[in-house]
Amino acid sequence: MLGMTDKLSEMGMKRAVQAIDPADHPLFQSLADVISSIEYEQAQAISQCVDAADMDIPVQHDREKRRRELLDIAEATAEQDLAPYWFAEVVDIEAPEQAAEYVGYDGQQWRDQLETWYEQYRQMGVVDAPLSEANRADLGHIAAMHVQESFGLELDEFVAGVINWDRGMALETLLAGPIRSYTGVITQLADEIEHRERRIEELEARVQELESET
């Protein structure tokens, strides 16, 4: 009985979370404000370092755009629509809602889908051989055609980016994207500074050689 109560309580919590509109909720708005502001401050500081080093590395951060993006991510997550959001906003797949239906297909589901597509195209007259005579290459050819026409992707891109889409990795990328970008810029700055220091040491050593020769 307790287990059933816990399960009902969990379901109630999920419904409550899904009923929240992050864009209008003060807590989510405050979090979006704080995160976007911190990222903006980081971008400004790194940009100053880039300028001081006289390097040509673009560092941009639109605070208001990022704030809206964070609220959109929160809303998509609350409504369990993160996959369509990812496909529409990040990957720019055609028909993102439809593509999301294929996320997480296992081996049998994927084989069944390949056969379904083949049969559909056979009925349209694209292929003549019945499904029973179709080999793996035939199924793959039709699948590649369908995926390209429906989603604008190559078949291997569809399998890797849609069927094997990982919600956790996508959410991490969406939330940590700017920080990772800034970390990359910092790494470039550190490499450039190290390179310049080595160059200075080489020049100093060369000067000492010349002085010793005279």
Tokens of 95: 């028909």
Residue 144 shares a structural domain with residue 202: no
Say what the pLDDT of residue 15 is.
Answer: 54
Total structural domains within the chain: 2
Specify burial of residue 74 (Cβ count, 10 A radius: 0-12, 13-18, 19+).
buried
Same structural domain, 151 and 176: no
Is the pLDDT at 167 greater than 50? The verdict is yes
Residues 214 and 57: their CA atoms lie apart, in Å, by: 43
Contact 28, 78 (CB under 8 A): no
Percentage of residues of the chain with pLDDT beyond 70: 90
Shared domain for 86 and 185, answered yes or no, is yes
Of the three residues 164, 181, 202, the one that is the final residue of a domain is 164
Residue range of the domain that includes 202: 2-103+167-213
Q: Kindly tell me if the per-residue pLDDT of 88 is higher than 60.
A: yes
Q: Are residues 73 and 176 in the same domain?
A: yes
Q: At residue 194, does pLDDT exceed 50? A: yes
Tell whether 82 and 15 lie within a shared domain: yes
Model pLDDT, residue 13: 46
Residue 85 CA to residue 22 CA, distance in Å, equals 15
Rounded alpha-carbon distances, angstroms, from residue 90 to 35, 171, 175, 212, 213 = 20, 11, 12, 61, 62
Give residue 2's pLDDT band: very low, low, confident or very high (50, 70, 90): very low
Q: Is there a single domain that holds both residue 77 and residue 175?
A: yes
Task: Specify the pLDDT at position 169.
Answer: 94
- Tens of pLDDT, residue by residue over 24-59, are 788 889 999 999 999 999 999 999 999 998 999 989
User: Quick one: 120 and 52 in the same domain?
Assistant: no
